[in-house]
């Protein structure tokens, strides 16, 4: 049972294509941090949810840490969010970006893959070190969450036979979903750190 619980928290390597995050520190040429996301909709469960019409939120948090004497200091952070939802009337995926009070309607896409291609372009973030000569690193966290997935929504999905599974598989899937929801819901978290770099060089 402990092993089963652990499997819920860990990710079998062969089961899914993981979201890849990368953050490149600023260089003399770029002057900004570059955040790259690959395979954003690679999680089959999340693709399934979005295709079924559930909106998904992708919250990014980029942190800039300064290497200190004893402890590392969090010098600053930037948060932004992407929201995607399938519009059944237009049969297109609509995508918006929110950055604090800033809202941007990015556009609509015929397929998730097309939206993913646009989102895989490096994003320029102006979260820059304040102290030249100090050592820094970035940490990027991405939380992907299907919004408004209530228990009733789950039941509705099973009844609609979204996965086209048999009763036993549905029961197994239901148990897993129940466990996942108790452990934190339909939410995936990804994290990545840059290498340490010296500011101003």
Partner 1 sequence: MRSLALALLTALSAAIPARGQQTSRDTARVPAGLPHEVALEVAALFNATTTLRATDRVTIAAGQVVRGDVAVLNGPLEIAGHVMGRVLAINSDVIFQPGARIDGDLLVVGGEVEGLSTATIGGETRIHHAPLHYVITDDQLVALRDDGRPSEQWWRRLERRQQRNSNRLEVASAGVYNRVEGLPVRVGPVLYRDQGWGHLRLDAFAILRTASSFTSSAPDVGHEVRGELRVGREYGATLGGRLFDVVDAVESWQLSNAEVGLASFLFHRDYRDYYGRHGGQLYAAARATDNADFTLSYGDERWRSRTAHDPLTLFRNELAWRANPEVDAGRFHVLHATLRVDTRNDVFNPWAGWYLLADFERGTGTIDDAAPTSPDVRGLLVASTRYQRGFLDVRRYNRLSPGTSLNLRLVLGGWLSGDPLPLQRRLSIDGPGTVPGFDFRTHGERDVGTCSTSDAPAGHPAQCERIALGQLEYRSDAHISLSDRRALGSARRTRFSADGQWVFFADAGRGWLVNSPGSTLNYARSVLPPLSSYRTDIGAGLDFDRIGIYMAKALSDPTEPLNVFVRVRHRF
The residue ranges that bind partner 1 (CB under 8 A) are: 1-2, 5-6, 8-14, 55, 61, 63, 65, 67, 70-74, 77, 83, 85, 87, 92, 94, 96, 98, 101-111, 114, 117-118, 124, 126, 137, 139, 141, 147-148, 151-152, 179, 182-184, 189, 191, 193, 196
Q: Is the dihedral of CA 26, 28, 32, 34 positive or negative?
A: negative
Q: Which is nearer to partner 1, 8 or 162 (CB)?
A: 8
Q: Which is nearer to partner 1, 91 or 164 (CB)?
A: 91
Neighbours of 86 (CB within 10 A): 19
The label of the residue with tokens 């004893």 reads: 70
CB of 39 to partner 1, least distance (A): 12
- Decide: helix, strand or coil at residue 167: helix
Q: Which is nearer to partner 1, 130 or 191 (CB)?
A: 191
Structure tokens at 43: 């999680």
CB of 132 to partner 1, least distance (A): 19
Q: Which is nearer to partner 1, 24 or 141 (CB)?
A: 141
What's phi and psi for 177, nearest 5 deg?
A: -65, -40
DSSP state of 194: P
CB of 48 to partner 1, least distance (A): 19
CB of 167 to partner 1, least distance (A): 19
CB of 79 to partner 1, least distance (A): 11
Rounded CA-CA distance 171/158 in Å is 10
CA angle 52, 57, 58 (to 5 degrees): 125
Long-range contacts of 95-98 (CB under 8 A, 24+ apart): 95/119
Q: Which is nearer to partner 1, 70 or 167 (CB)?
A: 70
């Amino acid at each position: 049972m402990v092993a089963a619980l652990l499997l819920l928290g860990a990710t079998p390597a062969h089961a899914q294509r993981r979201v890849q995050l990368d953050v490149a520190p600023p260089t003399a040429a770029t002057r900004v941090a570059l955040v790259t996301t690959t395979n954003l909709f690679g999680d089959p469960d999340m693709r399934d949810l979005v295709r079924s019409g559930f909106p998904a939120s992708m919250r990014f948090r980029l942190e800039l840490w300064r290497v200190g004497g004893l402890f590392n200091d969090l010098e600053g952070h930037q948060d932004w969010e992407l929201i995607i939802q399938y519009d059944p009337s237009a049969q297109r995926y609509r995508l918006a970006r929110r950055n604090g009070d800033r809202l941007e309607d990015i556009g609509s896409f015929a397929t998730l893959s097309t939206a993913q291609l646009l989102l895989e372009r490096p994003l320029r973030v102006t979260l820059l070190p304040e102290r030249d000569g100090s050592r820094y690193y970035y940490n990027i966290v991405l939380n992907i969450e299907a919004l408004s997935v209530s228990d009733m929504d789950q039941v509705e999905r099973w009844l609609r036979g979204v996965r086209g599974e048999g009763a036993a598989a549905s029961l197994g899937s239901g148990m897993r979903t129940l466990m996942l929801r108790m452990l934190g819901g339909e939410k995936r978290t990804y994290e990545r750190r840059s290498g340490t770099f010296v500011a101003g060089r």
